[in-house]
Structure 1
Amino acid sequence: MASTHPEFLAHCVDLLEALGTVRPRRMFGGHGLYVDELFVALIIRDTLYLKADDETRGRFEAAGCQPFDYARRDGQRTVLAYWTAPQEAMESPALMLPWARLAMASALRAANGKRPKAARRAAARPRQPAAARGKAGA
């Protein structure tokens, strides 16, 4: 997979900085872009994809944006919840801001829907029957 050109990465960071400090991180053969530790965008092959969800996907579709997808080893296609930014939004931070806000809102909803790590770990641990727990303390 082709890597992201440093100039394109810097441009995308500039476009999203109205949301806050943008932190790029290498991933998926490209970069993930985080704002306040929320994963709001993905850059693959010099294309910016913004986070979307059920509430925002229609706006991206209406603007002619395309979802990020890839072929798995078994030949099936996987579609992620990231959509290309509208071409005109790539021209300036002011034009990107409404789309960046949609991505941030989607990322916030996704983060709020997840259980904290400690709760996920506790749920993954096998539970002992109550009788067994009582005997351990006796």
Structure 2
Amino acid sequence: MKTITSETLARVEDLLKALGEVRYRSLFGGYSLTIDKAAFGMLVEGELFLRANEQSAAYFTQRNSSKLKFTRRGRAVYLNYYQVDSELWNDPDLLV
């Protein structure tokens, strides 16, 4: 795991420790994040992407947040995960 990704993972674990143990596994060139077997995010190249539901997707869309993209067979595939920006990082209650 790259240093920047390890640092971001430590930050995520610290913010979300009240919800349970954050686990990770390699997936799509990044790391899938789970708590109690529920997937909630991805870490890709040191960036956190959160899985969106209808409410949070509206929030992220309004903020023009980037969706998680990976390439499969030469084509871009966008997942329902949105990048956490600095403003959201700075509001731990909203992030949780």
Normalised by the length of structure 2, the TM-score is 0.79
Uncovered stretches (5+) of structure 2, i.e. residues with no partner: none
Letter paired with 2:23: R
- Tell me what 2:83 maps to: 84
Take 2:49 and 2:92, find their aligned partners in 1: how far apart are those partners?
A: 12
Take 2:64 and 2:86, find their aligned partners in 1: how far apart are those partners?
A: 9
Alpha-carbon shift at residue 85 of structure 1 (Å): 1.3
Q: How many residues align?
A: 94
Q: Structure 1 pair 39/78, CA: closer, same or farther in 2 (3 Å)?
A: same
- Show the 5 A alignment for 1:1-138: 3-5=1-3, 6-73=6-73, 75-91=74-90, 95-100=91-96
Normalised by the length of structure 1, the TM-score is 0.59
Letter paired with 2:92: M
Uncovered stretches (5+) of structure 1, i.e. residues with no partner: 101-138
Q: Is the 8 A contact 2:22 2:33 kept in 1?
A: yes
Q: Between Structure 1 and Structure 2, which shows a larger proportion of strand residues?
A: 2
Runs of 4+ aligned structure 1 residues displaced above 3 Å come to none
Note the alpha carbon deviations across 1:64-83, whole angstroms, 9 max, x for none: 3111012222x321011111
Q: Between Structure 1 and Structure 2, which shows a larger proportion of helix residues?
A: 1
Alpha-carbon shift at residue 56 of structure 1 (Å): 2.5
